[in-house]
């Protein structure tokens, strides 16, 4: 046996145990001294070679070798995994290691979390006095186990706190999961809309299928399918209905639905009845200024082309016509009255001068004139 140590040590009877041999056989050993960094060669022999097995142990009674074989656990192996595994199936994994003495300890981990509920089996090798240890892990898989690493860890006192591990990455197949995501939570008439069909599954689902109210899309020119998206270029009320997205893989099929309700666009414009009212008022004012424009203005107010069909309310054209007639009659009356007053004033001045030419003096002219005081008072009363 060759053994390296990092100090000057002496070894005494390191081969002092006989595992199996004929009666009277005893191992022959010798003490060895070695310098730090050097190599120690340990010899253990018997007098007669009768296929006796020799066991090497350290001072802590840990088995190091059986003849020329190490007495430490072998690297573990995981068995029982067959890829892929279907979602919902029961999986059974077994981890096994041999050659340990005392028996090694096996622990299971999944996503770095230890699994406690496992089966443990220890078997002793009668010829070499070592142990074969195995552990079985049973669990039902789901889609969350896809890609998860399951680890089997072997701990033993001879491993110097460095455990041996084996790892198995799981592959789980499962049916698609589907959901529909709209581009806007409040679709309005005239606006575009994109419906995205998100599907996850293993194997990856095939291209999705879009339907409306259980049938094909009604307007392929306006409803365009691009990959997993349904693009509606501009919405109208006929687009209301239930849209369905289906995704399929080799395991199965799943679907999701979206109920579309197209809302009206909010109206923020001023009422249209204000504009015809302003137009009519302007036309009426023009009619009142010039009588010659009455006919054209009145005819222009017969019907406002901008007015809404079926609009009810006062007839502004009729009111404008009446006002124009009243103004025209008033102007004519003032004109005639002015002419009448002007004519009578001239007559009074003329009569007042008659009879003054033949009078010898002013007093006689006043008395004899046709425009005497009495007549003058009568003229004044006329004016009043």
Cis peptide before 203 (omega within 30 of 0): yes
pLDDT at 127: 65
Out of 113, 140, 170, a domain closes at: 170
303 and 369 part of one domain:
no
Residue 292 is predicted with a pLDDT of: 38
Give the chain's domain count. Answer: 5
| pLDDT at residue 184, as a whole number | 94
Q: How far apart are CA 245 and CA 282, in angstroms?
A: 61
**90 with 164, same domain?**
yes
Reference 7, options 42, 37, 40; nearest CA is: 37
Q: State the burial class of residue 175 (Cβ atoms within 10 Å of its Cβ: 0-12, 13-18, 19+).
A: buried
348 in a domain, yes or no? no
The pLDDT of residue 162 is: 82
Same domain as 285, residue 256: no
Range of the domain at 242: 175-260
pLDDT tens for each residue of 59-85: 655 566 656 556 688 889 999 998 889
- The stretches in the chain having pLDDT less than 50 are 2-14, 16-22, 270, 272-313, 348-349, 352, 370-384
Q: In residues, how long is the chain?
A: 384
Q: Are 156 and 207 within one domain?
A: no
Give 15-44 as a 3 state SS string: CCEEEECCCCCCCECCCEEECCCCEEECCC
**The domain spanning residue 222 has which CATH number?**
2.60.40.10
Whether 229 and 254 map to the same domain: the answer is yes
* Beta strands 77-79 and 90-100, pairing class: antiparallel
Q: What is the pLDDT of residue 191?
A: 95
Q: What is the pLDDT of residues 99-124, one digit of tens each?
A: 888 889 999 999 889 998 899 999 88
> What is the pLDDT, as a whole number, of residue 372?
47
Burial class (CB in 10 A: 0-12, 13-18, 19+), 216: exposed
Do 94 and 137 belong to one domain?
A: yes
Domain boundary among 133, 152, 170: 170
So what's the pLDDT on residue 2? 46
* Same domain for 89 and 161: yes
Q: State the pLDDT at residue 300.
A: 39
Whether residues 134 and 188 fall in one domain: no
Residue where a domain terminates, one of 170, 196, 228: 170
**Confidence at residue 93, expressed as pLDDT on a 0 to 100 scale:** 96
Buried b (16+ CB within 10 A) or exposed e, 278-289: ebbeebbeebbe
Residues 85 and 141 in one domain: yes
Let me know if residue 349 belongs to a domain: no
Q: Does residue 88 share a domain with residue 166? A: yes
Q: Is residue 265 part of a domain?
A: no
């Amino acid at each position: 046996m060759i053994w390296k140590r990092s100090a000057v040590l002496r070894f005494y009877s390191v081969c002092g145990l006989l595992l199996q041999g004929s009666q009277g056989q005893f191992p022959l050993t010798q003490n060895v001294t070695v310098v730090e960094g050097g190599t120690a060669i340990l010899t253990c022999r018997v007098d007669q070679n009768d296929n006796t097995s020799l066991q090497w142990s350290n001072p802590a009674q840990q088995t190091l070798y059986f003849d020329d074989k190490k007495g430490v656990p072998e690297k573990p192996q995981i068995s029982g995994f067959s890829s892929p595994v279907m979602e919902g199936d029961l999986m059974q994994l077994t981890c096994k290691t041999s050659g340990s003495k005392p028996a090694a300890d096996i622990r299971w981990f999944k996503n770095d979390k230890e699994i406690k509920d496992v089966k443990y089996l220890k078997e002793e090798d009668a010829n070499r006095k070592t142990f074969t240890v195995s552990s079985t892990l049973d669990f039902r898989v789901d889609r969350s186990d896809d890609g998860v690493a399951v680890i089997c860890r072997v701990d033993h006192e001879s491993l110097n706190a460095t455990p041996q591990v084996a790892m198995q990455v799981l592959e789980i197949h499962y049916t698609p999961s589907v959901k529909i995501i709209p581009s806007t939570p409040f679709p309005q008439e005239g606006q575009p809309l994109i419906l995205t069909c998100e599907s996850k599954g293993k194997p990856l689902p095939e291209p999705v299928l879009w339907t409306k109210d259980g049938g094909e899309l009604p307007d392929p020119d306006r409803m365009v399918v691009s990959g997993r998206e349904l693009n509606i270029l501009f919405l109208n009320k006929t687009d209301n209905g239930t849209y369905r997205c289906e995704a399929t893989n080799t395991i199965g099929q799943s679907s999701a639905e979206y109920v579309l309700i197209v809302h009206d666009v909010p109206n923020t414009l001023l009422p249209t009845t204000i504009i015809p009212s302003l137009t009519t008022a302007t036309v009426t004012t023009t009619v009142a200024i010039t009588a010659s424009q009455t006919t054209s203005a009145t005819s222009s107010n017969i019907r406002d082309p901008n007015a809404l069909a079926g609009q009810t309310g006062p007839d502004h054209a009729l009111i404008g016509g009446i006002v124009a007639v009243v103004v025209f009659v008033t102007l004519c009356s003032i004109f005639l009255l002015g002419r009448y007053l002007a004519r009578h004033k001239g007559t009074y001045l003329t009569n007042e001068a008659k009879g003054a030419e033949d009078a010898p003096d002013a007093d006689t002219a006043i008395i004899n004139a046709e425009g005497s005081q009495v007549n003058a008072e009568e003229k004044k009363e006329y004016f009043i």
